């Protein structure tokens, strides 16, 4: 599989603040790549460097096998991006906005091309409506349509679901899946929502304070065999002693106010049955995905 983006030891400093710190990762052709981190983790700064909006302090960015610093115009002509909320002309219609941006991209504009683009993002029936009448989710979809009008090979979306209601989030999710599954596009999606990335991405990275925490395939990082289960009982000392004499002994992570085990999620019901049969009085059983727990603990505000 071809590597379409390669980041090597990327750093960005703003005076005394290190926003991105020796960051390295790669994106393959055809990936939906989740770029995860809490607000302020360095995601937007990294993306802005990838789009040459700001210059790195150190490191390399290679896209399509070329150095971004040496082949800026050629590379950017093959990228479509929406950074946070798209800049649109709210007193123009969706069709007029798309036509204007297409001309700025030197696209051979035809009515069919523009309508096909609006249809792809689910806005063909509102093509003549002024953007000021659009919901935020519709504006996001129009922004993505504009980013795609020149048929880019790489699409970068920075927090595309920020401020959206559940329907708007679902619309953006379905659009990203369509871009990947039906159009074969490579998509990088920046987000602080692990649950959303889990639904759409095949590979992902988590960063915190500009540093990489973990990177890999989503189906491996979200392995159901590594589900973290928190147990609360009426007598944790007794419960722990019973569990340590059972097949669950090696699964115990730690014991404090709660007993925590790492277990396959499909075996949780068997664990509960064992505890009941062992006369352990259960107050609460709380499954938490190990990666989610890891993510939330490492990225929680100090």
pLDDT 10s digits, 261-301: 888 888 999 999 999 999 999 999 988 766 666 677 666 66
The pLDDT of residue 162: 82
Give residue 161's pLDDT band: very low, low, confident or very high (50, 70, 90).
Answer: confident
Average pLDDT value for the chain: 90
Give residue 132's pLDDT band: very low, low, confident or very high (50, 70, 90).
Answer: very high
| CB-based contact 62:230 (threshold 8 Å) | no
Answer CATH for 224-299 from 3.30.70, 1.10.1760, 1.10.287, 3.30.160: 3.30.70
* pLDDT above 80 for 14: yes
The pLDDT of residue 1: 67
* pLDDT above 70 for 185: yes
Express as a percent the part of the chain with pLDDT over 90: 60
The pLDDT of residue 143: 92
Whole-prediction pTM: 0.79
Give residue 158's pLDDT band: very low, low, confident or very high (50, 70, 90).
Answer: very high
Average pLDDT over residues 47-59: 96
Give residue 83's pLDDT band: very low, low, confident or very high (50, 70, 90).
Answer: confident
Report the DSSP beta bridge partners of residue 188.
33, 156
Give residue 171's pLDDT band: very low, low, confident or very high (50, 70, 90).
Answer: confident
Domain with CATH 3.40.50.300 in the chain: 3-221
pLDDT 10s digits, 98-118: 999 888 888 888 999 899 989
Alpha carbon dihedral 76, 38, 200, 28, in 10-degree steps, equals: 40
Domain with CATH 3.30.70 in the chain: 224-299
The CATH classification number of 3-221 equals 3.40.50.300
The pLDDT of residue 38: 85
Burial class (CB in 10 A: 0-12, 13-18, 19+), 10: buried
Task: Tell which phi-psi region holds residue 32, choosing left (phi > 0), alpha (psi between -120 and 50) or beta.
Answer: beta
**Residue with more model confidence, 30 or 299:** 30
Distance of alpha carbon 185 from alpha carbon 179, whole angstroms:
6
The pLDDT of residue 293: 65
């Amino acid at each position: 599989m071809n590597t379409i983006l390669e980041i090597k030891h990327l750093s960005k400093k703003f005076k005394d603040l290190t926003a991105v710190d020796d960051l390295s990762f790669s994106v393959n052709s055809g990936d939906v790549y989740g770029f995860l981190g809490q607000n302020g983790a360095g995601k937007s700064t990294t993306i802005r460097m990838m789009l040459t909006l700001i210059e790195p302090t150190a490191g390399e960015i290679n896209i399509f096998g070329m150095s971004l610093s040496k082949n800026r115009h050629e590379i950017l002509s093959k990228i479509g991006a929406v950074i946070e909320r798209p800049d649109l002309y709210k007193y123009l219609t969706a069709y007029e906005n798309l036509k204007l941006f297409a001309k700025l991209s030197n696209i051979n504009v035809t009515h069919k091309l523009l309508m096909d683009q609006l249809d792809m993002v689910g806005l063909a029936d509102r093509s003549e409506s002024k953007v000021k009448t659009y919901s935020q989710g519709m504006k996001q979809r129009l922004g993505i349509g504009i980013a795609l009008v020149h048929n880019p090979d790489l699409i970068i979306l920075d927090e595309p679901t920020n401020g959206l209601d559940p329907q708007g989030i679902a619309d953006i999710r379905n659009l990203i899946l369509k871009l990947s599954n039906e159009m074969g596009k490579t998509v990088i999606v920046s987000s602080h929502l692990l649950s959303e990335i889990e639904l759409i991405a095949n590979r992902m990275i988590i960063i915190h304070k500009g540093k990489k925490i973990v990177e890999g395939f989503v189906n491996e990082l979200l392995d159901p065999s590594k589900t973290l289960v928190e147990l609360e009982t009426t007598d944790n000392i007794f419960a722990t002693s019973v569990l340590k004499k059972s097949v669950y002994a090696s699964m115990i992570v730690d014991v404090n106010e709660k007993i925590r085990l790492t277990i396959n999620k499909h075996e949780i019901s068997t664990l509960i049955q064992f505890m009941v049969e062992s006369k352990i009085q259960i107050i609460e059983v709380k499954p938490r995905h190990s990666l989610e727990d890891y993510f939330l603990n490492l990225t929680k505000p100090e």
